[in-house]
Every structure is written in C-alpha cells, then in structure tokens.
Amino acid sequence: MHVQVFQDGSIGLRGINPFLFDLLREIVRCGASGDPRVEARFYPPPVEEGDLSDLREDWKSLVQPELQAAFQQARDVVQADLRNATETEDGCAFQIAPHHADAWMSALNQARLALAGENHFTEADLSADVPSAVGGPTERALLQMHFYAFLQDWLVQMAD
C-alpha cells in the first residue's frame, strides 16, 4: 500500500491489496456495533459513579443523541470515500479530501474502541507485536487494530 499527499492536501492511498481493503471497509461496520460494551464506551457518563444523577440523565437525553449523530456522520464520510475507490492493476485506490480527515480519524477511533471492547483487549494485548499471521478471529482483530492505529496516527501527524 502506498500513501501520497497531493498539493491540495488530499491523501491518496493506492496499491491496497484485497485483504487490507476489506479491513478498511469494516471500519464502518465496527463503529456501528450495537454491542452494549461498545455503546457504554462510546457514551460514557459525564461524572463518576454516584455523582449528580440529574446531569447523567440530561446527558443521556440531550448529549448522547448529538454524539450518535456526529459518529454516524463520520462513518458516512468514510463509507462514501471507500465507495469511490477504484481498482487498478496493483490493487485498490482512493483519496481522502483534507476536509474528510477528521471524519476518518473519528471513524478509525470508533472502530478501534469497538474492536477492543468486543474482544476484551487489554493494554498488554495492544502493546504486543503485530501478529505475523492471522490464525483466528482474535489475531485478525488485533491486526485490524494495528492497521487502523497506523492510519489514524498518520492522519494525526498530517493534521499537525
């Protein structure tokens, strides 16, 4: 996979093999996980346990819908960018416009948090080396986490 930055700030990714392109397509699915552990992580309370129950309730009814909409909007942008991907001899290619970078960072973060929640990954799991082979769903999810982290970190560096 090759990454190129164009003069207008767009990011071009090309030569993406089918396996990695599948992982990219899964960003949207991961973020839309309805798993209660993932929901709890996406919408944490604004106060620690036992504090200000009225604020907790207000947060749930007023802030949570706004967050849901913002997260969905970010995933929609990613899905649209991937839908515009083209197939070339050396793999798939697509571009991320500069004003889509924040949506990508959000969607990648959503996907990583969802994968970590669904697979109960610990800090030790995430600090371990990237799996060299995909032997099962856990290794695949770990590889996915690392791939998304690489892209997200790269977008953060670009935004700096």
- Rg (C-alpha) for the chain, rounded Å, is 17
Q: Which of positions 52-91 make contact with another protein (CB under 8 A)?
A: 55, 63, 66-67, 70
Write down the least CB distance from residue 114 to another protein, Å: 10
Residue closer to another protein (CB basis): 88 or 130: 130
Choose which of 47, 80, 128, 130 interacts with another protein (CB under 8 A): 47
Please, are residues 136 and 50 in contact by the beta-carbon 8 Å criterion? Answer: no
- CB 78, min distance to another protein, A: 15
CA distance linking residue 66 with residue 151, whole number of Å = 26
Q: How many CB atoms lie within 10 A of CB 130?
A: 12
Q: Number of residues in contact with another protein, rule: CB under 8 A?
A: 31
Separation between Cα atoms, residue 33 and residue 13, nearest integer Å = 26
Distance CA 101, CA 158 (A): 9
> Does the footprint of another protein cover residue 126 (CB under 8 A)?
yes
Q: What is the DSSP string of 9-53?
A: S-EEEEEE-HHHHHHHHHHHHHHT---HHHHHHHS--SS-TTS-H
Closer CB to another protein, 8 or 160, in the complex: 160
Q: Which x/- pattern, by CB under 8 A, does the window 86-115 give for another protein?
A: -------------------xx--xx-xx--
Q: Where along the sequence are the contacts to another protein (CB under 8 A)?
A: 42-48, 51, 55, 63, 66-67, 70, 105-106, 109-110, 112-113, 116, 121-123, 126, 149, 152-153, 156-157, 159-160
